[in-house]
């Protein structure tokens, strides 16, 4: 894990029942070398106390937007100036990063809409441009899957907020599902990779071999993701709703597992964490461009993961200008098939090379189609999304996948974050025969 030594971190705690874990998060941050100041909402203090947070962080805890209303063991230094009416400005400017863990659905909505009427959102709003804000949502599954929550999260991500996704597990409701806050040590590890992405040297073990060697150390992984846009004219295109989120999650997790990663990405919104993690990124527009980019990388790749949603057809002739609507009620386009990139690279597959495909299907015959594609394309593994399942497929931060392998295995997984899906996929790849 990258070091947080001498980093000044603000830990925001909001009104989710997962706030009972916040003192443990503070302790993990301190253990990683950070200086931690906790800021809590009234709701958060229904599940933890200012005393617990202060004891864990070793610093006073701010519990109000109004000056003078803070918890004081030990007393704050005068240099922090938190007793003034602009304490939030000085605190935000002194920080290297802010982590909100847990971040409730209400807090997510406030950050999205610019409501800064509690201490946590007020500090978050005061962070200078370039200071990372990382949030850890935690809530029940039905709340997590609300369209408003997902739309708010998507907006925040587009505007530079980093999100450490919840996991599948036992929830406060007694149910099991997506929405559980990760364990404190996992949160701090991911947070450290965002704030201080440079890797620390791996210490040696007793027998002289590296301790904890990542599972994909030394492997070269090629990943495709996102849509392709096939032009109709200068402004219109044939495409799809793929966001590229699954590919980005696979690329980042591959880096965490020690791989040298190249991601070929179709037209999507930016993923700032890719550059921080050291992923080699190539952007393309059309299926033909993606094929050329893939062909340039396949010879040296040990593992190829084809998660892109490549358009199946493209206009036979694209107009250089903008086509006019005209007087007619209809317009006819003649389409041609785009290159089958997966089939092309499978023809030259090396015996020591692993190729993984994706299948986006819907309905009762989805699994049959996925198995057929696995065999026809000479794949080692295929990952199927059934878009009939709520929360799966394009645009979501969650996914529900079923993995099929060449040896006949079928692994059906519950709804989980795309980061968790990436881990499951890559872990399965590492044990392929």
Residues classed as catalytic = 240
Dist CA 103 CA 120 (whole Å) = 10
- Name 11's bridge partners: 38, 99
- Quick one: tokens of 211? 């301790």
DSSP 10-69: EEEE-SSGGGGGHHHHHHHHHHTT-EEEEEE-TTGGGTS-HHHHHHHHSS-EE--SSTT-
- Name 386's bridge partners: 361
β-sheet with 220-225: strand ranges across: 280-283, 260-265, 220-225, 303-306, 354-361, 381-386, 401-405, 410-412
Dist CA 268 CA 280 (whole Å) = 16
Q: Would you call 280 helix, strand, or coil by DSSP?
A: strand
- Quick one: tokens of 147? 């369209």
Dist CA 100 CA 318 (whole Å) = 48
Pinpoint the alpha helices (H) of 219-365. Answer: 245-256, 272-277, 287-295, 341-347
CA of residue 258 relative to chain centroid, distance: 18
- Among 173, 107, 97, 170, which Cα is nearest to 137's? 107
Q: Identify the helix (H) or strand (E) that includes residue 296.
A: none
- Name 237's bridge partners: 231
């Amino acid at each position: 894990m990258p070091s947080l030594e001498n980093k000044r971190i603000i830990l925001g705690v909001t009104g989710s029942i997962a706030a009972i874990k916040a003192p443990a998060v503070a302790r993990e941050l301190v253990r990683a070398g950070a200086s931690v100041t906790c800021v809590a909402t009234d709701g958060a203090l229904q599940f933890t106390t200012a005393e617990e947070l202060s004891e864990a962080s070793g610093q006073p805890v701010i519990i109000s937007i109004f000056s003078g209303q803070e918890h004081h063991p030990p007393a704050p230094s005068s240099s922090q100036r938190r007793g003034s009416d602009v304490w939030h400005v000085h605190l935000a400017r002194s920080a290297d990063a802010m982590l909100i863990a847990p971040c409730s659905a209400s807090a997510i909505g406030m950050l999205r809409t610019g409501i800064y009427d509690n201490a946590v959102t007020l500090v978050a709003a005061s962070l200078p441009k370039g200071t990372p804000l990382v949030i850890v949502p935690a809530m029940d599954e039905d709340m997590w899957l609300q369209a408003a929550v997902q739309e708010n999260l998507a907006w925040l991500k587009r505007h530079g907020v980093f999100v450490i996704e919840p996991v599948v597990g036992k929830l406060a409701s007694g149910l099991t599902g997506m929405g559980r806050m990760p364990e404190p040590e996992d949160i701090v590890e991911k947070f450290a990779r965002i704030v201080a992405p440079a890797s620390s040297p791996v210490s040696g073990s007793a027998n002289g071999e590296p301790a904890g060697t990542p599972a994909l150390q030394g492997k070269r992984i090629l990943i495709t993701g996102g849509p392709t846009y096939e032009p109709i004219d200068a402004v219109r295109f044939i495409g799809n709703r793929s966001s590229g989120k699954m590919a980005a999650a696979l690329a980042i997790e591959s880096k965490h597992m020690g791989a040298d990663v190249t991601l070929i990405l179709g037209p999507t919104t930016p993923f700032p964490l890719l550059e921080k993690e050291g992923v080699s990124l190539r952007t393309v527009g059309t299926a033909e461009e993606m094929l050329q980019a893939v062909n340039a990388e396949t010879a040296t790749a040990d593992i190829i993961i084809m998660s892109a949603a490549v358009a199946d057809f493209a206009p036979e002739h694209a107009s250089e200008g903008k086509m006019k609507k005209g007087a007619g009620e209809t317009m006819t386009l003649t389409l041609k098939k785009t290159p089958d990139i997966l089939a092309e690279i499978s023809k030259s597959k090396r015996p020591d090379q692993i190729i993984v495909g994706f299948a986006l299907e819907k309905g009762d015959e989805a699994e049959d189609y996925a198995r057929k594609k696995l065999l026809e394309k000479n794949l080692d593994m295929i990952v199927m999304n059934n878009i009939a399942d709520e929360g799966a497929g394009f645009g979501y931060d969650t996914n529900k996948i079923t993995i099929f392998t060449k040896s006949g295995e079928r692994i059906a997984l519950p709804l989980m974050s795309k980061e968790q899906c990436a881990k499951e996929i890559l872990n399965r790849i590492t044990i392929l025969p």
